Structure 1
Amino acid sequence: MKKWLAILFCATMVTQVQAQQKTALFNGKDLTGWFVNGTEKWYVEKGQLVCESGPDKNYGYLSTNKNYKNFELTLQFKQEANGNSGVFFRSGIEGVKISGWQAEVAPINQHTGGIYESYGRGWLIQPKAEDEKYLKTGKWNKYTIRVVGDEVTTWLNGHQMVYIKDEKIGKGEGFIALQIHDGGGIKVRWKNLMIEEL
């Protein structure tokens, strides 16, 4: 009996340590810890982070004040209207010209989960056509992005979308950023943004 209690205690402690390593990137109240790039709309509504096209119908980014190198990021997103957006990592920016890599968030069959290099090589990898079905249009989706060294893996609603090993990504440095695409008519909601540095 004592042996099983000891095992249970150890398992509980490991779980607590793992939970403590995860940090909320969004506090559910305001944009503390983030920086707005561009004139598109970023606001908090009902504890959710919302990005929405502004009058300029241009690119916009909400970037973290801190840089992240190796991490696992989990979040939930829900696309309203046109959902063309994404999550940049190891990125830098001048005005609204961003350099780095994007884990895509887009409407159905537009490669959510794929990796795109901004102002560089373009698409590095896209999900298989049969995996596009894992996106839930108009509903909450769980997204996981793991970046370690030169390796990037994405999961959408528990299903692995892509894996890539890339030397240039391995040398990258910079922040995490949420994107709103140009063109107007875009609205995406985000919540439960949690990061674990690795």
Structure 2
Amino acid sequence: MKNRLTLIMIATVGLGLSFCATAQTKSTSLFNGKDLSGWHADVPEMDNNPAVKSPFIVRNGMLVSLGTPGGHLITDSVYQNYRLEVQYRFAGKPGNCGVLVHASTPRALYGMFPKSLEVQMMHENAGDFWCIVEDITVPDMEKRRGPKEQWGVDGDKKRRIINLTDKSEKPLGEWNTMVIECVGDAIKVWVNGDLVNYGTNCTTQKGQIALQAEGSEVEFKKVILTQIKALGS
């Protein structure tokens, strides 16, 4: 616990420095509450079977990932230097989902996952990083990722980087707020106000944003992006 608190303090200092060097500009909702304009689905099972329906729908003003078949809902646009706020909840049973940032090449891993850096939303693991053909560096790397010789960004390598804090998520059925800040090669993640992960030296600094269908139904009430501009630029 002491080590985790130390890491949080280090990350918080970095957070303060980030705000000294940047300024937020205009915010845009990436979901209009009516349809999936601005997004496109990439669901491998839909390639050759017209009977398969997309797992991404709009229901009661919410963007919903039904969980199956597996795939991704991807923004049409590419983004760089931004803060993304996502409000979500698991609609029924707890399960798995994620927000992918800096997404690019589709189906780069296992014929399913786009090249990206995933911010995990899996119940009780929100804020973990998963490296998907991209990479990132965090404090106390070997403790949180495993032996260095086993690190990697594809296949069965150690691609998971465990988050800094536990128990930041709300009880099942309540709304969680996840904030992901991507500035330069750094990524910070908050869950319900707690700083849960922080990394630098990300191998990419821009890309699309994707939401997953990964086995569990998830409702999204808010997906808001705020551009961040470096002061003096």
TM over 0.5: yes
How far does the alpha carbon of each residue in 1:85-109 deviate from its partner, in whole angstroms, 9 at most, with x for none?
A: 010011121463311101110112x
**Per-residue deviation, residues 46-78 of structure 1 (Å, max 9, x unmatched):** 111000133xx4x31000000011110012000
- Name the count of aligned residue pairs: 168
1:83 to 85, 95, 105: 95
Alignment-mate amino acid for residue 28 of structure 1: G
CA contact 2:67–2:218 (8 Å) conserved in 1: no
Residue 172 of structure 1, CA deviation: 4.0
Structure 1 equivalent of residue 225 of structure 2: 195
Question: How big is the alpha-carbon RMSD for the aligned residues of Structure 1 and Structure 2?
Answer: 1.9
Q: CA deviation at 1:174?
A: 1.6
Q: How far has the Cα of 1:20 moved from its partner?
A: 7.0
Alpha carbons 1:89, 1:176 under 8 Å: kept: yes
Report if the CA contact (8 A) 1:62-1:179 is conserved.
yes
Matched, 1:134 2:168: yes
TM-score for both structures, normalised by structure 2: 0.67
- The change in CA–CA distance for 1:127 and 1:97 in structure 2 (over 3 A counts) is closer
Q: Tell me the residue number matched to 2:8.
A: none
In the alignment, which of 155, 165, 178 is matched to residue 211 of structure 2? 178
- Structure 2: stretches of 5+ with no match in the other structure: 1-22, 47-53, 134-152, 229-233
Deviations 1:152-197 (A, max 9, x none): 10000011101111241xx34320000122xx4x100001211011
Q: Distance in 2 between matches of 1:79 and 1:147?
A: 25
Equivalent position of 1:44 in the other structure: 58
1:69 aligns with 2:80: yes
Shift of 1:19: 8.9
In the alignment, the residues of structure 1 paired with residue 177 and residue 59 of structure 2 have an alpha-carbon distance, to the nearest angstrom, of: 19
Instruction: State TM-score, norm by structure 1.
Output: 0.78
Which secondary structure does the structure 2 equivalent of 1:133 belong to? coil
Which structure's residues are more often strand, by fraction? Answer: 1
Other structure's SS at 1:190 match: strand
Q: Which residue matches 1:12?
A: none
Paired residues of 1:100 and 1:172 also in contact (CA < 8 A): no
SS at match of 2:77: strand
1:7 corresponds to which residue? Answer: none
**Ranges in structure 1 where 5+ consecutive residues have no aligned partner:** 1-17
Indicate the larger mover: 81-90 or 155-164.
81-90
Q: Aligned partners of 2:168 and 2:74: how far apart in 1?
A: 27
Q: Which runs of 4+ in 1 moved over 6 A?
A: none
